Chain A
Amino acid sequence: MTSKLTLDLIITWTKQTSKNYRLLLIVMLLAIPVSVLLNVKMISSSYLTPTYTGIENYSLINNLIAKEGDKSSAIDNYLVDPIIAKWPSLKVIYEESTSLKLTGPENSNVISVSFFSGGYSTLGINAFKGTLKALEFPTNGSDLVAAISYSYWQSKYKGKEVINTILPLNGKAVKIVAIMPENFTAFNKQYKTDVVIPYSQKLTLIENTSNDITPNTFSYLLGSSQHLAHFSLHAKTYLSNELLITDDIDIVMNNAIGINNSKYQKISKRIDILVIIFSILLVFCFVSFITFYVGEYASKSNELSIRGLCGASKKQLLFQRAVENTLLIILITIVCIAILPIGKMIVHSMLPTVNFSDVDVPTLSFLKLILCLTLLITLIMAITFFIQETFISKNIGRGENITLSQKLQSYILLSFLLSVAIVSIFISLELLSAQKKLNENDNGFITNNRYIASFELPKTVQTQIANSDTGKLLVNRLENIPNVQSAALTLMAPFANSSSFFQWYTVDDHPVGSGINSQTVSDRVSPNYFTAIGATFVKGKSFSWQSSNSIVVNHTLWQRYFKGLDLYNAKLIMKTRNKNGVIKEHPFQIIGVVKDIYIAGPDVQPNAIVYALTNFLVGAEAIIIHSSNDEKTLKNAVTAQLNTLDVSFKKLELTSLGSLVEIDNQPRNAILLTTIIATLTITISSIIFCLSTVNQIVEKSARAYAINKMLGATNFRVMTFEARFLMAIFLPIVFLSIFIQLYYALQANFIAANINLTTLVSITITVIAFILAALYININNKLHNSWHYLT
């Protein structure tokens, strides 16, 4: 084809398109969901494929999680052998990040250490210098080896030769055998690791520890994606049938590396909701786009036949279609790219906890993005072309009268679009009510006049104050501040993401919290914690400073282990291990059951929690203060009181609990708002589409109606006839389509299994009533001046 023709076509297309506001609007509508979904894709892929680990082959590793109720942890050691026996091609690896003391002569810095089992060659982690061979699953008792991180090498050794030198760590000599790749930061998203040491050497390096997994331990499964998939399918059955592990424990896997499962769940839940909303919007816009595109075909084919008369060959006409479709793809691509920042804003508002500077746009290269778009739009074109060629080109009649197949086609499209609208409105309403419920959820605490103070205790003084009653002293001082109603200490401040664990058992030696390992979430609080935070007691009351053998549990724990029992009979045993590894048991009496406190927000179900008395400060506490003072006055007063203690507190921060709740609510409100906007967009555009389709059909059928009326049919009969025809097409398509859509929505866990039929039926009936009313009013108007259509 000549460049002249191409240029002509481009100019003509540009002129035509710039005047075609409906097309521009639809392109915009198409671009918004596409750009949001692209953003979500970028975020989840950067979240799920963390480049900070230096891993190249992400598909070969899965996070392996033992889940009991709402508690997630790494899987226990004793499960590893049975798993490997059953799936010999898989490997279980552990990772634990912690801090250790350097014991060199010149300094005694604390450095960040990551214990990692191995699998470097499988994962494609290649040493920057030296070799990681010695770190690949070394046997117990082998010489201590380590790989240091690139940044540690730069800062500590200034890039000098270090391979085969000795790192004095925790009083032991560790040989540096490699430098980790430059892009390795840590295996745990919250750490910046300096030194990597084989997991099997943890016991050698640190005495007095057990090989038990800790809340900070991650377990991973290594293997080909097929084997991982097979494991994921059959693990649960195998574990419960052959290993007789209790049914409460579930083995789950996810793609995240070094991310706490509950955080992962929270974020992926929000990402899911985003994907739902904007997928619905995309499907809807997709359908309207096709409808629009098909609708344009009549005038387009007229144009093409006139061009044929002017001497355009078939090839040239085909070329014109190709040019125009390409231009449309380019237009959509440009609009999508222009709208990407808006999409980013929307996504950001819902995932404030994701650090967006981590999101690496260039990794999902720009070309890939355009390719995705082109594929998507080419698909639309192909579908449209198919529809056009198979159904429509034959329908272009000579006269003004609408043909049966034109009517059929319009009604089918209308039915399909409305069925999408019905389902999307339904899902949106469900989402809205779920979000609304969350926002109205009883948090179990009161935000009014509540403040959280956090502080840092210098490490050197920590031992000084242990075993003294500094805690009690501190609380008393604070409560003496005027207008302070109560003050209390806790290890787990609301929204602080901190948790503490102890090993609790029931009297019949049942571990509390998890059947695999006995890490129980346990808070240490001062007696008036519950008053200070405004929690209410279901049973009993709080302990006092004196009652050191009493504990309070939350409602979840009570329901799980003591349901129906009297407080009097409720006891728990705490087990501790002393320096020589001997286990000691301490019995505690439960004297109160407190309503669940949702310290991580309403969408995170609280664990079973034990509240025990804190008798001394450990430095990780936060202070909850109930005070009618304003924030500034309170902060000054608290600072003053803290200074009267002989212990030096640093970095005092005071935050109102209300503001934390607000921050936590933000993403939910954003989801709420987006859902409402998406639903409104869908509703309004389907109303407009419905009205214009009905109007067009009635307009084109006006002559037929008029003839019928002339022949003696009443207005009502004419209308009923048309309505029956519409419903005969509408009802089966809508029901079938709704059924299919809900089926897939259920499969993808987009909606709850107990579908709210009343809502669904009411929406459907409303839509049917609307479309019938539109039809009746339109026909009625036409029949009023029916004579016009006959003369």
Chain B
Amino acid sequence: MSPQPSSTNPNSLKIQLAYQFLHNLNNLNSKRSNLATTHIRQRSNRVKIAAYASMAYVVGSRRAWSRAILRTIRNRRMLARNKRVDHKITHRPRSAKRRNPKRDYVDPNGNSGQEVKLRKLVPGVEKMDACGLLDETADYIKYLKTQVEVMKNLVDLYSTI
């Protein structure tokens, strides 16, 4: 998506993410109903979706997690378009933050509880092997970090104005 995927440079990555994020935010909000009337939660949810979407857009289809996110977004949009709001997707577009209390639970596959947890956290790694899982996790963490920074800056900016 980005003209030059210079994701190795954190600054450029940040900028790309920022652009994407703002763009998505804008689109998201403009599409939706009147901001003033929407509930704060809906708005925050939209922002959150925009954040994840921007992350995924910057990465494109290179990563499994970004592909999963894009897929979810498109599904969402399709469903919304079809007037069939699937709340499951809408409200949990990406990672389900389920707190699994059983850590030592072992899957039938022999996966420990931790691996399962990780799979639930990172989108799109359900069926990957452990090696790829770690790879995707690393990439996901990197983009998440940058996204969080971008958002922090934005919040600061907005709050100072």
Partners in one complex: no
A-binding residues in B (CB < 8 A)? none
B-binding residues in A (CB < 8 A)? none
